[in-house]
Amino acid sequence: MDIKLSRFNGGIHLDDHKSESLTRPVQVAPLPNQLIMPLKQHIGESNKPLVNVGDRVLRGQLIAGSSSPISAPVHASTSGIVRSIGPHLVAHASGQSADCIIIDVDGKDASIKVEPIEVSQMQAADILDHIRRLGVVGLGGASFPTSPKLSRGIDLGIHTLIINGAECEPYITCDDSLMQNQAYETVRGIGYLQRMLTPKKTLIGIEDNKPKAIEAMKLALQTESLPNTAVVSIPTLYPSGGEKQLIQILTGNEIPTGQLAFDIGIFCQNVGTCLAITQALELNQPLMSRYVTVSGDGVRLPGNWIVRLGTPIKYLIELAGGYVQNGLNQPNATQQHLVMGGPMMGFSLSSDNVPIVKSSNNILVMQQQLIAQQPGIHDECVRCGKCAEVCPAQLLPQQLYWHSRSKEYEKVEAYNLFDCIECGCCSAVCPSQIPLVQYYRASKSEIRATQRATFKSDRARIRFEFREKRLLLKKQQEEQKRRLKREALLKKSAAKKMDSSVADPIQAALDRIKAKKSEQVIVPKNITNLTADQQKQIDEADARRCSEHEQNT
């Protein structure tokens, strides 16, 4: 296959420090005395524990799960007794605790009964369900459940499948070891992905500082003979292993802002995930272990181990010969700095009593005094623009810093803060030693908090307004009701009066008045019902008046 490589903007060449952990072959880490299994080891809905304190659990037994489609269950990675279920310190950037199932390992490593499965006869939907039930998540770092991602990819249609074996961060060699060690399984996993996604082509991107891995994968690819698939050696340049950057290198495409890779027909998966898929589909084995690198100048014997999930980091560091005890006469200098992940994008751990989880690829032990950027101490930005030269997202880190510092979050957003992938290139080249990414992380969380608060207050306002409206409506309805009732009553009484069924009420009234008037004929009351005497007196008076009248005239 003819592949034209593109280049992403910026990037930096770093001392890769990969050889330290590759001097010894991969080892299978022995069982620790205790496992710490966080209930949630993926992005999505939390799991609920499915075992009780005191229960005996077996290797491969489901111990925590959720009914949500965006979730991945957790399986016991060896046999033992559930000691407790509750908060325990975990490897998280915030340094917070999370609910964990603590298992006292019995050392027997007894397994549940594993039913053999025949993957060649499974439908795509069955495979998806199987991968989901066995807790497979993306092992590149984000830990997004693989099954829903695949199902979305199938729905949208994929033309290019990209397998990420770039592993661009210094020190980390777990994917390198995995590809050297289990290339065939990994390639078969790619085959299962192809079966479900039916891409037109598949590209396996590996940085050219891993010639052995490239060789192994090419050989496995030939043997397994996957169609339209190629191992592509890409130039070593950090951060080529970022999803956006790898896609840009291999296809020349940029993922438009606000969209995801499968929106442009590209599906990206880490090599570790491919191996986990093979193990799930061929061995019916849940995700219980992973390749982990332990490296850095603070640990005696750097190397790679296949580690059961839940193994405490402390135990792993003991396997790697323990911490380097340097400069005993300088007690402060002996302090080691523990990092989960690589030196560019990892995060500090406040304790080594935290477990390996699905996303743990590397434990980096650095001597404290060699940490490049100490909080709070740096020169001012002189706007030299070296950060902008190396930024793979083509941002202007100097402007982001300026506005982040003065907490002008609207401006920070206008300078596209949320396109920052936090790769750390800008911080690494800053002549003023400004921890730029730290400023961006702070701004991002500040903006998110504001957004959440706005969302909350908006919702409260909408609720309030709705309530007001509802009350008003109720009042209006009541008034309406009352008005109608009143009118009905009035009508009723009027109807009663008009029962006489006269055509013209005015005429009728006039008639009534007329009748009344004609009834009351002008008969003076004092001359009715007169006695004979009274009549006689009246007659006499009348006669007298007449005579007086005649006399006068």
Partner 1 sequence: MTSVIVSSPYVSQSKSLRRLMINVIIGLIPGTLAYAWFFGPSIMINIAIAVLFALGFEAVILWLRKKSIKPHLNDYSAVVTGWLFALCLPSHSVWWLIVVGIGFAMIAGKHLYGGLGFNPFNPAMVGYVVLLISFPKEMTSWHLPIPMSGETYGLVDSLKFVLGIGDSTWDAFTAATPLDHVKTALRQDIPISEIFQAPLFGKLGGIGWEWISAGWLIGGLWLLINKTIRWHIPVALLGSLGSIAWVFYLIDAETATSPLFHWLSGGAMLGAFFIATDPVSAATTNNGRIYYGILIGLLVYLIRNWGGYPDGVAFAVLLANMCVPLIDYYTQPKVYGAK
In the 8-state DSSP scheme, what is residue 361?
A: -
What is the C-alpha to C-alpha distance for residues 61 and 113, in angstroms, rounded to an integer? Answer: 9
Q: Of 180-188, 302-310, 430-438, 473-481, which part binds partner 1 (CB under 8 A)?
A: 430-438
Q: Are strands 80-89 and 97-105 parallel, antiparallel or unpaired?
A: antiparallel
Rounded (5°) CA angle 342-346-349: 115
Q: Of 25-33, 56-64, 271-279, 389-397, which part binds partner 1 (CB under 8 A)?
A: 389-397
Q: Are strands 80-89 and 347-348 parallel, antiparallel or unpaired?
A: unpaired
Residue 364's closest CA among 310, 316, 433?
316
Q: Of 138-146, 147-155, 273-281, 387-395, which part binds partner 1 (CB under 8 A)?
A: 387-395
Tell which one of 368, 408, 446, 508 touches partner 1 (CB under 8 A).
368
Q: Of 4-12, 142-150, 172-180, 183-191, which part binds partner 1 (CB under 8 A)?
A: 4-12
Question: For residues 371 and 460, which CB has a smaller minimum distance to partner 1 in the complex?
Answer: 371
Residues 395-424 that bind partner 1 (CB under 8 A): 395-396, 398-399, 415-416, 419, 424
Q: Of 104-112, 119-127, 285-293, 342-350, which part binds partner 1 (CB under 8 A)?
A: 342-350
Tell which one of 350, 500, 518, 553 touches partner 1 (CB under 8 A).
350
Residue 183 contacts by C-beta under 8 Å, 6 or more apart in sequence?
Answer: 213, 216, 217, 219, 220
Residues 234-253 that bind partner 1 (CB under 8 A): 244, 248
Tell which one of 123, 257, 518, 528 touches partner 1 (CB under 8 A).
257
Shortest distance (Å) from residue 257 CB to partner 1 = 4
Estimate the share of the chain in helix, then strand, then coil, as percent rounded to the nearest 5: 45, 15, 40
Letters for 64-103 (x = contact with partner 1 by CB under 8 A, - = none) are -------------------------------x--------
Is the distance from CB of 126 to CB of 147 less than 8 angstroms? no
Tell which one of 25, 27, 321, 347 touches partner 1 (CB under 8 A).
347
Shortest distance (Å) from residue 295 CB to partner 1 = 13
By CB atoms closer than 10 A (0-12, 13-18, 19+), residue 50 is middle
Question: For residues 8 and 192, which CB has a smaller minimum distance to partner 1 in the complex?
Answer: 8
Amino acid at 132: R
Tokens of 74: 């957790």
Sign of CA pseudo-dihedral 385, 387, 392, 393: negative
Question: For residues 205 and 242, which CB has a smaller minimum distance to partner 1 in the complex?
Answer: 242
Our finding on whether 172 is near partner 1 (CB under 8 A) is no
